[in-house]
């Protein structure tokens, strides 16, 4: 779990600085809205994070086809790094039965969609390089 957390923090920091990324949600980042609470309550911030990009229609297929270290897969919580895009419309219409206010709140959080990432125990530099190559500029 220590390796998951250390790698996730490095990946989150990399993504937060990338020009194609608009938002990173990881409790280990000071930018997370509940970072201070996480610091008080958690001993390990985990290997799970989400992020959003400027142009999902272009970025989703790029990541799915270009990533070599990350695996583009639905399952999460593996020793290998996994990533998957959750389209908001598809998710809300197939998985959840939310009230209008709950749906609005989710859309405020997720926008048109988010990448869900489980960072594994590979080399963090290799993970960041893989994302840099796939995201492009």
Number of H helices, E strands in the chain: 6, 5
pLDDT digits over 88-103, tens only? 998 888 777 888 999 9
Q: How far is CA 129 from the centre of its chain?
A: 16
The domain locations on the chain are: 2-135
Q: What's 2-135's CATH class?
A: alpha beta
pTM: 0.90
Given a cut of 70, whether residue 137 has pLDDT beyond it is: no
Instruction: State how far Cα 48 lies from the chain centre.
Output: 7
């Amino acid at each position: 779990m220590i390796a998951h957390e250390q790698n996730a923090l490095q990946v989150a920091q990399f993504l937060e600085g990338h020009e194609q990324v608009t938002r990173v949600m990881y409790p280990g980042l000071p930018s997370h809205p509940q970072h201070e609470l996480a610091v008080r309550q958690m001993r390990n911030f985990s290997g799970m994070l989400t992020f959003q990009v400027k142009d999902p229609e272009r970025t989703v297929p790029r990541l799915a086809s270009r990533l070599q270290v990350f695996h583009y897969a639905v399952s999460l919580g593996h020793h290998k790094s996994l990533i998957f895009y959750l389209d908001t419309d598809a998710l809300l219409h197939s998985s959840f039965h939310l009230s209008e206010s709950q749906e609005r709140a989710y859309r405020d959080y997720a926008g048109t969609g988010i990448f869900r990432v489980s960072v594994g125990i590979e080399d963090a530099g290799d993970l960041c390089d893989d994302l840099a190559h796939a995201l492009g500029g």
